[in-house]
Amino acid sequence: MADLSSSVAELSKSFSGRLLLPKDSDWDTARRVHNGLVDKRPALIAQCLGAADITAAVRLAREHSLEIAVRGGGHNVSGRATVDGGLMIDLSALKYVHADPKARTARAGGGTLWGHFNRETQAHGLATTGGVVSTTGVAGLTLGGGIGWLMPKFGMALDNLLGVEIVLADGHIVRADDDENPDLFWAVRGGGGNFGVVSSLEFRLHEVGPLVTGGIVAWPAKRARETLRLFRDFAERATDEVMLVAALMTAPDGATKVSAIAAGYFGPSAIAERVVKPIKVFDQPVVDTLGPIPYEQLNASLDASFPRGARNYWKSHFCEQLTDEAIETIIDCHRKCPSPMAMVSIEHFHGAATRVKTAKTAFALRGRGFNVLALSQWSSPAGDAAGLGWARETDAALKPSAGRVNTSTTSTRTTPALPPSPRRMDRMSSGYSRSRPGTTRTTYSTAT
């Protein structure tokens, strides 16, 4: 068998994208992902421009017994987009969006980011559930679940997925949807990795905006208890048109701690002001941006809070109820937060996303409740011990209030909390990973 360098030289004659070895000048930049805490060194990076490139890369990995990781947007906090000593299949150049306003569908390349997707679909007044940070990859967020502003009204991102083109572990290219390879389609929607490399995704679109109602209202941290109770009470009455997230965080000045509620309303504009009024009139806010806003802008409004290169370590628990005891624990944990970049975030699950039958997809988190996340984030290696420690301590403190663990160490919503059909998952995993060596993984990025 030829050595890796020789195989790369031969493949490069037909490869449409780029093949980068550690000796190449662009390799160091290309290997880095969004989370600065992740510092893995692939033996080879294959920057693919299409499914044929992906097939060639997968077969090269099999030939040289290389583990494979797949990069879409590169946001996955746990670093699943890269690998030490293996092959990174980098889809960041494979980004395109073809929207069909008549059919209300859109097809996106495996490296497309949500900001790009939203821009193209909003040109037709259409959208689908797609995260809350515009630099997140479409593929990773969708295949891992897909929380977003439109989740209560239209379901999670994977609930709006109509089909995928996927390169299997043996290099074959297939389509998976409800009619063609339905078991595979079930598995890639929330089932984790090892099924193949998704090169493109087709979505159902809905009429949204372009102008919606959304934004953030924040109060001094001393009002955190009352803020979280308001959030809880408002969430209990929320209709499908409302998405709610609460956070205990530090203001942009880097010093002032605040309690905040982010809200989006996607119903009739005539009653929008009335719907969000309980949030706007509560106490005396120090920040209030809640009002009319373009949907595209709303979906990018949190980008600055998650800068590329920051060091991240996240933990979370799903709580069926946000009890007074849980609120006190959250407040106490945030008081101990060592970095102004870190926060405790609470995402409310209700509406369409919770009405999907558990067996329909491999994603198991379908109950109503509150996803409580300790989002530990800091800027330099000097803060590693404190940042890691705070997330772990917060995780331990929240366990008594939680019904299930929703994220694994340093990851965000990429592994089902409780597999809905373990036997079916085992059968799918073994069936689609037979081509080892060379472990294929579906793309995963941060929802984060």
CB 329 within 8 A of CB 155: no
Q: Please give the average per-residue pLDDT across 382-392, as a whole number.
A: 98
- Domain of 273: which CATH number? 3.40.462.20
Residues 166 and 103 in one domain: yes
Query: Using omega within 30 degrees of 0 as the cis cutoff, is the peptide bond preceding 437 cis?
Result: yes
**141 pLDDT higher than 70:** yes
pLDDT of residue 66: 97
**2 pLDDT higher than 60:** yes
Residues 103 and 52 in one domain: no
Nearest CA to 89 out of 441, 445, 447, 448 is that of 441
| Contact partners, residue 45, CB within 8 Å, separation at least 6 | 19, 20, 27, 30, 31, 87, 88, 90
pLDDT of residue 1: 62
What token pair was written down for 371? 């996803």
Residues 58 and 133 in one domain: no
**409 pLDDT higher than 60:** no
DSSP 164: E
Residues 59 and 180 in one domain: no
Computed over its alpha carbons, how large is the radius of gyration of the chain?
21
pLDDT of residue 423: 61
Tell me: the pLDDT tens digits for 278-336? 999 999 999 999 999 999 999 999 999 999 999 999 999 999 999 999 999 999 999 99
**410 pLDDT higher than 50:** no
Residues 219 and 295 in one domain: yes
Residues 14 and 25 in one domain: yes
**269 pLDDT higher than 60:** yes
Tell me: the pLDDT tens digits for 413-422? 334 445 556 5
pLDDT of residue 402: 78
**441 pLDDT higher than 60:** no
What is the percent of the chain with per-residue pLDDT over 90, rounded to a whole number? 86
What is the percent of the chain with per-residue pLDDT over 70, rounded to a whole number? 90
In-domain check, residue 151: yes
Which pLDDT band, with edges at 50, 70 and 90, does 430 fall under?
Answer: low
Residues 334 and 394 in one domain: yes
Give dist(CA 250, CA 392) in Å, integer: 20
Tallying the residues shown for the chain, one arrives at 448
| Contact partners, residue 162, CB within 8 Å, separation at least 6 | 105, 177, 202, 203, 204
Which of 185, 208, 231 finishes a domain?
A: 208
Residues 21 and 149 in one domain: no
Residues 258 and 244 in one domain: yes
In-domain check, residue 427: no
Nearest CA to 31 out of 108, 77, 86, 109 is that of 86
pLDDT of residue 193: 76
Residues 265 and 380 in one domain: yes
In-domain check, residue 111: yes
Which pLDDT band, with edges at 50, 70 and 90, does 11 fall under?
Answer: very high
pLDDT of residue 429: 59
What's the whole-number average pLDDT of the chain?
A: 91
CB 359 within 8 A of CB 412: no
Nearest CA to 256 out of 287, 277, 213, 230 is that of 287
Which of 71, 90, 109 finishes a domain?
A: 90
Tell me: the pLDDT tens digits for 215-224? 999 999 999 9
Residues 80 and 102 in one domain: no
Q: What is the distance of C-alpha 352 from the center of its chain? A: 18
Give dist(CA 144, CA 140) in Å, integer: 6
Q: Please give the average per-residue pLDDT across 200-222, as a whole number.
A: 97
pLDDT of residue 404: 55
Q: Which of 13-22, 189-198, 342-351 is predicted with the least confidence, judged by mean pLDDT?
A: 189-198
Domain around 80: 4-90
Give dist(CA 366, CA 383) in Å, integer: 36
Which of 55, 90, 125 finishes a domain?
A: 90
**367 pLDDT higher than 50:** yes
Residues 80 and 227 in one domain: no
CB 377 within 8 A of CB 341: yes
